[in-house]
A = this chain, B = another copy of it.
């Protein structure tokens, strides 16, 4: 326990990091077609150039009428209305409904002048050509979508910082907004260090290990809305790492280094991160497992993260920090919503008080329960995460979780 006591929690550490990034570090703006804007973030508000619906529309198949002409109508005492025509879809209504008149209208059709309600077709009878019986009264506005009922002209329909989902694309296109200004994807420079690391495309010799972190982190960055920039495998030497980091610092919006595994390699990383600019290293060590040796820095406005070299630690910690960082540079609100599924712990798990644990678990569906089974790999090798469906967070105040405890699993 003592080794974690003087360390920040992950949430405190994130606050410190985000708090040290000036607004000027936000990424620039680019204009793109709305249909290609899925998962991008608006850089300016969108206002409605016209109302939605743009004209009053029928919500049912039936007859456009003047509501007052139907008052008191019933099957035994119907209202008789003259049928003066049909409202065709997609063209302006070219008739005016006068007293005791009606016009055939389809769902979505434009309410013609004069009419103020729609009688559903099932509440009418055609008695002879040119005349209908209305069997049920309608109120003014009934079965009518009013012009501007969804959106009024000039209304701010989307705020800057909005993540564009399917429905935002639909909403903008409904308003004829076919191009949109979005925040440029933050470039995230990813450096992998270690004298033993080789590219996956190379034949690994005895004593060598293929680079995993560049690619797992690239995938995470892409999913979080950033643009990964692979900056290569760097030897565990100060000058080599400094040179590569400085280049990333100059060209990218965020720099992520996965440190070599040894203490001396981690020392080099913290020295390099401290040398790139002001204020430098903000956090060195966090009260989480995995991920204790994480380093957070800001250098002349550029956020920089030193992740542990272990692939599981690197990916878990990147999920906690790189995602929020990307969203911050995109101008999004900090979200506290993490989608989860509830499950029961299958066995007891111990945890140190004062330390936040992220435990990989696999989910099993039993008869009527979802069970979360911890994946133990003391070595935190990559297939620990391949076997896992998500992570269970054990909060710092807990000393473990008992079998049967209902936990929330953050799915990968």
Contacts and interface: CB of A to CB of B under 8 A. Distances in A.
Nearest to A370: B337
A60 to B, nearest CB: 9
Contacts of A381: 52-53, 145, 149-151
Q: How many copies does the complex hold?
A: 2
A412 interface: yes
A110 B205 CA distance: 12
Contact of A194 (B89, B173, B220, B384): B89
A195 interface: yes
A169 to B, nearest CB: 5
A210 B206 CA distance: 63
Interface in A382-412: 382-386, 388-389, 411-412
Interface string A74-102: 00000000000000111111000000000
A412 B168 CA distance: 11
Interface stretch (A5-13, A124-132, A211-219): A211-219
Interface stretch (A15-23, A257-265, A268-276): A257-265
Given A54-B206, A171-B382, 16 more contacts: A89-B196, A89-B207, A90-B198, A90-B208, A106-B262, A107-B260, A107-B262, A110-B207, A145-B381, A150-B377, A150-B383, A167-B315, A169-B216, A171-B383, A336-B365, A339-B341
27 contacts: A34-B215, A38-B223, A89-B194, A90-B195, A90-B197, A108-B262, A108-B309, A110-B206, A110-B207, A150-B382, A150-B383, A151-B381, A166-B215, A166-B216, A166-B219, A167-B216, A168-B386, A169-B219, A170-B386, A171-B383, A173-B200, A173-B211, A174-B209, A176-B200, A337-B411, A339-B411, A340-B340
